[in-house]
Each structure stands twice: as structure tokens, then as C-alpha cells.
Chain A
Amino acid sequence: MRNLIYTIAVLAVLAGFAQLAQASEFVQISGGEFRSVIPEAEGDNLIAVDDFLVQDTPVTNAEFLRFVLHRPEWQRGTAVSLFVDDQYLATWDGPISLAPESGPQQPVTQVSWFAANAYCESQNARLPSWYEWEYLAAANDDMADARHLAEWRQGILSWYSQTGGDQIADVRSEPANYYQVFDTHKLVWEWVDDFNAFLVSGDNREQGGADQLQFCGAGAISMEEKENYAILMRVAMLSSLEARYTTRNLGFRCARQGEVRQ
């Protein structure tokens, strides 16, 4: 009995250390201007991003498990179908147990926008906006904006041709980028707060117009950025989603409003 208690105590301490070592942190991002693939208005794709804070990794299975333990209404089998589809957390073993293919340090996937949003709210945070995400994802390991590097773009693209069926790696498996943020590319797709904002033209009087992927339309996507296929694929994927959908490769990270630096 004493041995058992001892073992449990040691395991608990180890688990605590493991969490300390691996927990994601919010890092400060200095805002700035950049050219987005999505113009804010027709022909205007120079976007100003304010300072903000963002989690340095996507939310992991361990972190999401802790959340559903506190918030049973977000457990698989309990969450209402208005907010999640029938594949919600399907890779877990049970409502409150992970599985070998969904380990504690892997990014949580099969989560809906509503579930992601509820998680971030529980952390006193929110999902990043598309522009915030795209701004982060423009960085390689030593440059804030590496998008002009064809080789780097090609490296990202090659990930898209590999996904499907493969085991998802742990977070932080690749080096951090310029902002000390991990896994913007080559790990999972990520929800953004305004995933349902990708209709770019002004008035929407034409029947059926809203359902088209309008970034295909003339003027909707800046021609300067058309070589940025990887980012355009993200836009296409996000714009095809409903807020309750979940997929095997779709996770999220949270953001917060940043302090303006003096």
C-alpha cells in the first residue's frame, strides 16, 4: 500500500514536471503591416495588425482534456450537435481519456470552432483572427516575412501533399519561428475566429454569390500573392467549413489582445 502511494506520488510529480516543461505559453507579438492574400477591400491588401499575444503551440490533447474535465458540457457524447459534428474528439478513447494515436503532447484535432472558442474563452482568450494567423505564419526561423523565399514556400507546400492518414507529430517537434511560435506550418490546420468571413466582394445581391469561394473572383485575391498556394489552401479549407465541423487535421491555438509597448 505504501509502495502504491509512493508510486502514485512519484508519477504525479513527474506528470507535473512534464506539464511544466511542455505547457504552451502566450508570447507577445509586435504588430505591423503586411500584404495579405485576402484584401481588406478590393485592391487593398496592405493589412495593419495590432500587437497581440498568442499561444506558442497549438492546444494539445492534454490541455483540451483538462478543459473538458472542468466543462463536462464539452465532453464527447455530451456536447450538443448544434456545436459539434459526430466526429468530435473521435480519436480519443473516451469522453475523458486519450488514445495512443492522440497523445498528450499532440495537438488536439477533431474539434469544432465552437469547442475551440469555448476553450479559448475559458483561458480568458479568443481565437486569433485570420490576419493575425497569417501574419505569424509568414515568418520562418529568422525572418518575420519569409514569403518571398521560393524554397521555403515549397517546403511548406510539400507538407500538404503528405497529410492524410499519417500520425500527427507532437507540438514543438520543429524549431520555433522568428516570433518564438511553433507549428504554424507542417503540423495541423488551425481555426481562426473569423473563419466565416471569407467573402470579399461588397454587396452580395447576386443569388448564390455568398456560397462561392469568392477569392477566386477577379480582384478578390491580390495577384501579387498568388504564388502563396499554401496560404490560399488554408483559406479555401477554412471557407468550406461550418462552425460545428471537425476534421482529423484541424486544431487551434488561442490569442489575446496585446499590450501596446512603450
Chain B
Amino acid sequence: MKNRTWISGLASIITLSTLLVVAPVTLSANDNSLPPQSVYNLQVAVEDQLGEITGLDRYKGQPVLLTMFYTSCPHVCPMLISTIKLTESKLSVEERARLRVLTISIDPERDTPENLHQVFQRHSVDSGRWSMVRPKPGDVRKIAGVLGIKYKQLPDGEFSHTTRIILLDRDGIQVASTDQLGRPDAVFLEAIRTSLQ
């Protein structure tokens, strides 16, 4: 009996130390339940406009519209957000209720939750379905890398970047994208409807 306690004690020490050793590795390893093309294989933390921290997969299980932007952006980013809103407005109420929107900052140093929250309110977007997040500075290029988005910081602090809206399916696989700003892209809209079925 005594022996068994000792063994189970040893076993838990071994389990614990295995966990300690293995845990950092498994964090960056892939989750086997995800399809290999899923964007959610990229395990990075993002902080939203309310300061809440999640993974990129916060809307896993729902189709998601995704874009990269920054809050001090004078022209293009407001247009990006209004294009997403305009696209959403073409959907039925039921369809819209199932769609999520995630906008990711490429300027995490300046895009604090407070700044993100201000933009969030300025555009009066649906807080149940939208979030605006910032990654850690070292993770921005990785996210841009999986999304095929290009960006460059300019000496004046502005950014030059691809203005792309991407549709992820329920598993986080990219199924469509559009570079069209200002008016809804009909083909893209159709892809959204299909993914919502």
C-alpha cells in the first residue's frame, strides 16, 4: 500500500514534469483536430478592444470575415470597415447572425485596447459578432504570412498594406477573398452565403 502511494506519487511527479517540459512545445505544435490548411493552426494570442485575450480561433465554428488594419489609418482602413459593413448589409438577418468579423491590427504598439475600442464605437459595429484585436508585435508578420497580406511601416508611422478581406469557413480555412473596396464584391458575397449554409 505504502509502495503504491509512493509509485503514484512518482507517477504524478513524472506526469507533472512531462507536462512542464512538453507544454511549451505543444502550444506551438499543431492541433490534430484542425485541417492542415486551417489558419487556426497558427497559435498566437490576440487582445481585443475590451482587453480580453484569446487565440485567433475565437470564432471557430462560425464563418469569419477577417482583415488587417490599423486605427490611426486615415483613409483606407475606415473604407475597409465600411466595405465589410456594406457587404454584411446585403445578407439576410438570419445569415448575418451567423457571420463573425475579426479585424487584426498591424500596429500593436499603438493600437491599445482603448484605441481599438474607440474605433469600434465610432463604426458602431455589432459587439456580439465583431471584434478588433492586436497581436503581439512579433506575431504580426506570421498572421500576415498565413493570410497572404503584405505590409510595410513607413517612416512617418503610417503603414502601406494590402487591403484584403478574407472569408474563413467554420474550420478556419480560407475559402474566398476580395480586394475590392467601397462596394460589395458579388462573387465574394456569394461565397459568404455558401459558407453560411
The one of A82, A208, A243 that contacts B179, using a Cβ cutoff of 8 Å: A208
Interface string of B30-48 (1 = CB under 8 A from A): 1000101111011000000
CB distance from B13 to the nearest CB of A (A): 24
Query: How far is it, in angstroms, between the C-alpha of A44 and the C-alpha of B156 when the chains are bound?
Result: 12
A201: Cβ under 8 A from any B Cβ: yes
Q: How large is the interface on A (under 10, 10 to 19, 20 to 34, 35 or more residues)?
A: 20 to 34
Q: A171-202: contact bitstring with B at CB < 8 Å (1 yes, 0 no)?
A: 00000000000000000000001101111111
On whether the beta carbons of B160 and A194 are closer than 8 Å, the reply is: no
> Interface size class for chain B?
35 or more
B163 and A210 contacting across the interface, CB-CB below 8 Å: yes
Q: Is the CB of A113 within 8 A of B145?
A: yes
| Given the contacts A114-B145, A208-B179, A210-B179, A197 and B152 also touching, CB distance less than 8 Å | yes
Q: Which residues of A approach B to under 8 Å, CB–CB? A: 40-41, 44, 71, 73, 80-83, 113-114, 117-118, 126, 193-194, 196-205, 207-208, 210-211, 239, 242-244
A-B contact pairs, 16 of them (CB 8 A): A73-B28, A80-B30, A80-B36, A80-B37, A81-B36, A82-B36, A82-B37, A199-B151, A199-B160, A200-B152, A202-B154, A204-B160, A204-B162, A210-B161, A210-B162, A243-B146
Beyond the given A80-B36, A199-B151, A210-B162, could you list 15 further A-B residue pairs with CB under 8 A, ordered by the A residue number? Answer: A41-B154, A71-B25, A82-B37, A113-B145, A114-B145, A193-B141, A196-B151, A198-B150, A199-B160, A200-B160, A204-B76, A207-B181, A211-B179, A242-B148, A243-B146
Binding site for A on B (CB under 8 A): 25, 28-30, 34, 36-39, 41-42, 75-76, 79, 138, 141-142, 144-146, 148-152, 154-156, 158, 160-164, 179-181
